[in-house]
Amino acid sequence: MSVSGVSSSTSSVDFTEMRKKMADMMAQRMSKDLDTDGNGSISKSELGKASQAASSSTSKSNSTSSSSSTSSQDELFKALDTDGDGGVTTSELSSYLKEAGPSDGAHGAPPAGSPPSGPPPGSSSDAKQAPSAQQRGAFAYQQLASALQMSSSGSSSSTTNNSISVTS
C-alpha cells in the first residue's frame, strides 16, 4: 500500500489482487517443495510421495485407510492438472489456489486453514532446525488437500467490495 505523505490523498488496497499475488507466491513455493525431480511440474508420483509423508506425520493421531487416501490424492491431482497432461505446473497450481480461496466477500480462515502450531510435522522440537524437503512437501500436500475439501464443500457468500481506502 502506498500512502503519499501527510497530504489528503487516498490509497486503496484491493484484497482480490492481493489474494491473487499471494496465491502466485504460494504456488511457486509449493511447486519448489513438491517438484522433487526439478523438471518444472509435479507428477502424480511426486504428489503421492508428499501424501505418504503427510500421512506418516499424522498417522500417530489419525487412522485413515489407504484406499480413501488414494482416492483423495487422485481427486486432488485431477483438480490440479487442468490440462490433463499428467503434470501440475506452477501456473495450474496458482490457478487452483486462486479458485480454492474464499469467494469475494468471504471472511474467515484462509483456503487451507490456519497454520499448524509448533514445528512442521516430523521435525524435531529444535526450532532452529529447518524442515526437510520431505517435510515441506508433506505440508504443501496437506494445504492443497485442505483447499480441495473447502472448495468441495461449496461454501458461498455474497460479493462485496474487496478494498479498503486509507485517507491521510
Q: Which residue has the cell 474467515?
A: 108
pLDDT-derived band of residue 5, with 50, 70 and 90 as boundaries? very low
pLDDT for position 14: 78
Task: Give, in order, the Cα–Cα distances in Å from 119 to each of 33, 34, 123, 132.
Answer: 17, 19, 6, 12
pLDDT-derived band of residue 70, with 50, 70 and 90 as boundaries? confident
pLDDT for position 135: 83
Task: Note the pLDDT tens digit of each residue in 29-40.
Answer: 999 999 999 999
Residue 158 domain flag:
no
* Angle between the N-to-C axes of helices 15-34 and 90-100, in degrees from 0 to 180, rounded to the nearest 10: 130
pLDDT-derived band of residue 1, with 50, 70 and 90 as boundaries? very low
pTM: 0.62
Residue 165 domain flag:
no
Residue 113 domain flag:
no
Provide the CATH number for the domain around residue 24: 1.10.238
Structural domain range at position 20: 14-100+132-148
Task: Give, in order, the Cα–Cα distances in Å from 151 to each of 20, 128, 132, 157, 161.
Answer: 16, 35, 29, 13, 21
Residue 117 domain flag:
no
Residue 116 domain flag:
no
Q: Give the best-scoring range by mean pLDDT among 56-65, 83-92, 143-152.
A: 83-92
Cell numbers representing residue 15 in the block? 484484497
pLDDT for position 95: 92
**Residues facing residue 12 across a β-bridge:** 165
Contact 86, 44 (CB under 8 A): yes
| Residues 112, 38: Cα–Cα separation, whole Å | 25
CA atoms within 13 A on the CB side of 140: 29
Question: Does residue 2 have a pLDDT over 80?
Answer: no
**128 or 96, which is more confident?**
96
pLDDT for position 38: 94
Task: Note the pLDDT tens digit of each residue in 131-155.
Answer: 788 888 888 888 888 887 777 765 4
Name the domain count of the chain.
1
**86 or 116, which is more confident?**
86
